[in-house]
């Protein structure tokens, strides 16, 4: 609807997102594939950065012919991130790239959305550059990483918190009973 190119890297091997293939660009993300997937995303970032530098602009949106904005969803990011951390060489390469994508990606038209149950494992750079955080029920203290102190008190479904304000998920209202 908004002209975004949506890419989903699904750490649940398709359980959540495969059914949307065709509406979004969907890929299963495993420890075997995630390094290459992040490398490819980073290569797109570098190409766009070179375009911006050549045109002497500081945002991709200022280019006369700008590429589509990429909206990249990492499903179950924490599970993959924990596995990446176990491989020191892979982690060293991926940590720098992910941090740079979080810090500079939006200027290059790359928006990253992490769907995760373990945000406490994210780097400081990732947490600092997470501009919009929505929390569903999390385990004790997990929401504290983003100052979502009451996320542990949320019901199991149909309610989320953003800046410690609780909201009903609109599409569940009729089904709550």
- What local confidence, expressed as pLDDT, does residue 111 receive? 92
In this structure, are residues 9 and 73 in contact, taking their beta carbons and an 8 Å threshold? Answer: yes
Nearest to 5 by CA among 77, 50, 68, 59: 68
- What local confidence, expressed as pLDDT, does residue 21 receive? 82
- What local confidence, expressed as pLDDT, does residue 106 receive? 93
Lowest mean pLDDT among 35-39, 71-75, 80-84: 80-84
pTM of the entire predicted model: 0.81
* Helix (H) or strand (E) run with residue 82 in it: helix 77-86
Does 156 score more than 50 pLDDT?
yes
Cβ count near 69 (within 10 Å): 17
- What local confidence, expressed as pLDDT, does residue 177 receive? 47
Range ranked top by mean pLDDT from 55-59, 95-99, 140-144: 55-59
């Amino acid at each position: 609807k908004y002209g975004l190119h949506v890419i989903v890297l699904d750490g649940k091997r398709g359980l959540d997102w495969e059914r949307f293939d065709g509406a979004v660009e969907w890929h299963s993300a495993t420890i075997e594939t995630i390094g290459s997937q992040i490398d490819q995303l980073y290569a797109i970032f570098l190409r766009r950065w070179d375009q911006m530098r050549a045109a002497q602009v500081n945002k991709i949106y200022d280019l006369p012919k700008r590429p589509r904005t990429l909206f990249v969803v990492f499903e179950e990011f924490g599970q993959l991130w924990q596995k990446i951390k176990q491989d020191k060489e892979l982690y060293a390469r991926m940590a720098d790239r992910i941090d740079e994508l979080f810090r500079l990606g939006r200027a290059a038209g790359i928006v990253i959305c992490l769907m995760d149950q373990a945000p406490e494992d994210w780097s400081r750079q990732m947490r600092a550059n997470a501009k919009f955080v929505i929390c569903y029920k999390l385990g004790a203290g997990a929401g504290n990483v983003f100052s979502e102190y009451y996320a542990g008190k949320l019901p199991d479904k149909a309610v989320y918190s953003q800046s410690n304000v609780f909201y009903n998920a609109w599409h569940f209202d009729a089904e709550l009973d």
